[in-house]
Amino acid sequence: MSIARSEKLRGENHAEHQALLQLALKRLSQYLHGKDSVVELSLATFLGAGHLLLEGAPGTGKTSLARGLASCFGGTFRRIQMTSDLLPSDIVGILRLKPGDSEFEFRQGPIFTNFLLADELNRTGPKTQSALLESMAEATVTVDGKVYSLPNPFFVVATQNPAEFQGVYPLAESQLDRFMLSLTVDSPEKDSEFEIYQAHTDRSSPLVSETTEEPLFTIEGIQKIRSSVARLFVEKSVLEYCLDLVRATRVHEDIAFGVSVRGGLQLVAAAKGLAYLRGQDFVSPKEVRDMAVACLAHRLSFTDGHRGTTQKRAVIQEILERVRSPK
């Protein structure tokens, strides 16, 4: 990377942004005790302009993390409880007659927001799932042939229950591919769980306080940060490393369909987000390795049918150990 370009990135309020991002990490750790890695990767996903899928049993803090992310940044936040009877129009909006007029007007749905929490995404039907995921891909909504742009930034945090739960509609592979990262939120360790109980007895805790915390960033500020993240330098050998990891999934003996080109590009973007969050102005192989499992595992399809999250991640871990990393 040229010295001039590196200095330019550092000069764009870099120190101020880094200080605020560390405050954001500290604030988010209050919403998800004992899950520092999940918190870090979630925030990096937002910086990398991706969308986030959180999997885990109810009551493990997935919704709290989503609300915490929204509280750190200025902008609007909405939550949709996904149910089996939810319709696509309940998400994107509807055309309705203007009062006292014969013309139609478009009434925006809850998807028109900066931060959208789609809670228990796999409890709603495939048609409604598709309506949300198409909007995620294009950042637009089309109703009656007219295209409506979604706000910038537009960030979706979707939660889903494990496939073993009753009344779930598993997401298709093409739908899972829309999420930059898929993370599992397990029950906390005993000490961390006790801290949560303690926090809920303290009325000033952000977990239970009725007061709203001030956002750390404005919309304009986060747009600038995302722009800086997108321009972060990636050395040729690191790009080749990403490519080798992705292509290794396509020739693995157990995998029917490996990671797509889109998945590879999202791995690069995710690594950029993580590198920026860590205060770097370049992407190292470590950021790629740290993001690889959460970014690639949910995109795999196997020759012998469905495999669980743990098995998918084990395959990516095996590939990481086999593919040579640049120094």
How does pLDDT run across 82-102, given as a tens digit for each residue?
988 999 999 999 888 888 777
Q: Are residues 33 and 66 in the same domain?
A: yes
- Residue 5 domain-assigned (yes or no): no
Q: Are residues 197 and 242 in the same domain?
A: no
Q: Are residues 265 and 206 in the same domain?
A: no
Those residues with Cβ within 8 angstroms of residue 100's Cβ, 6 or more apart along the chain or in another chain: none
Domains in the chain: how many in total? 2
Q: What integer is the mean pLDDT of 156-184?
A: 80
Q: For residue 196, what pLDDT is reported?
A: 65
In the listed set 211, 230, 249, which residue is the last one of a domain according to the structure? 230
- Residue 239 domain-assigned (yes or no): yes
Structure tokens at 313: 């991640």
Q: Are residues 130 and 197 in the same domain?
A: yes
Cβ neighbours around 11 below 10 Å, total? 9
Q: Are residues 174 and 276 in the same domain?
A: no
In the listed set 183, 207, 230, which residue is the last one of a domain according to the structure? 230
- Residue 152 domain-assigned (yes or no): yes
Q: Provide the CATH number for the domain around residue 221.
A: 3.40.50.300
* Residues 254-309 pLDDT 10s: 888 899 999 999 999 999 999 999 999 999 999 999 999 999 999 998 887 777 88
* Cβ pair 241, 325 in contact under 8 A: yes
User: How confident is residue 211, by pLDDT bands cut at 50, 70 and 90?
Assistant: very low
- Residue 326 domain-assigned (yes or no): yes
Q: What integer is the mean pLDDT of 15-37?
A: 87
Angle value at C-alpha 6, between 223 and 231, nearest 5 degrees = 35
Highest mean pLDDT among 44-48, 169-173, 175-179: 44-48
Q: Are residues 171 and 22 in the same domain?
A: yes
Nearest to 48 by CA among 158, 151, 179, 150: 179
- Residue 10 domain-assigned (yes or no): no
Q: Are residues 142 and 197 in the same domain?
A: yes
pLDDT(314) > 90: yes
Q: Are residues 110 and 219 in the same domain?
A: yes
3-state SS class at 79: strand
Q: Provide the CATH number for the domain around residue 254.
A: 1.10.8.80
Q: What integer is the mean pLDDT of 166-189?
A: 80
What's this model's pTM, rounded to 2 decimal places?
0.87
Q: State the DSSP code for 150.
A: P
Provide the domain limits for residue 274: 232-327
User: How confident is residue 210, by pLDDT bands cut at 50, 70 and 90?
Assistant: very low
Q: Are residues 23 and 119 in the same domain?
A: yes
| Amino acid at the residue 179 | F
Structure tokens at 63: 């919704």
Q: Are residues 206 and 125 in the same domain?
A: yes
User: How confident is residue 193, by pLDDT bands cut at 50, 70 and 90?
Assistant: low
Q: Are residues 202 and 303 in the same domain?
A: no
Q: Are strands 301-302 and 181-184 parallel, antiparallel or unpaired?
A: unpaired
- Residue 3 domain-assigned (yes or no): no
Q: Which helix (H) or strand (E) holds 2?
A: none
| Amino acid at the residue 32 | L
Average pLDDT, the chain: 85
- Residue 2 domain-assigned (yes or no): no
Q: Are residues 96 and 108 in the same domain?
A: yes
Q: What integer is the mean pLDDT of 159-169?
A: 68
- Residue 33 domain-assigned (yes or no): yes
Q: Which stretches does DSSP call E strand in 98-213?
A: 104-108, 115-119, 140-143, 146-149, 155-160, 181-184
User: Alpha helix (H) ranges present in the chain?
Assistant: 3-11, 14-31, 36-47, 62-72, 89-92, 126-138, 173-176, 190-199, 219-230, 236-250, 261-277, 285-296, 309-322
Q: What integer is the mean pLDDT of 36-61?
A: 89
CA atoms within 13 A on the CB side of 179: 30
* Cβ pair 228, 59 in contact under 8 A: no
In the listed set 230, 260, 277, which residue is the last one of a domain according to the structure? 230
Q: What integer is the mean pLDDT of 37-63?
A: 89
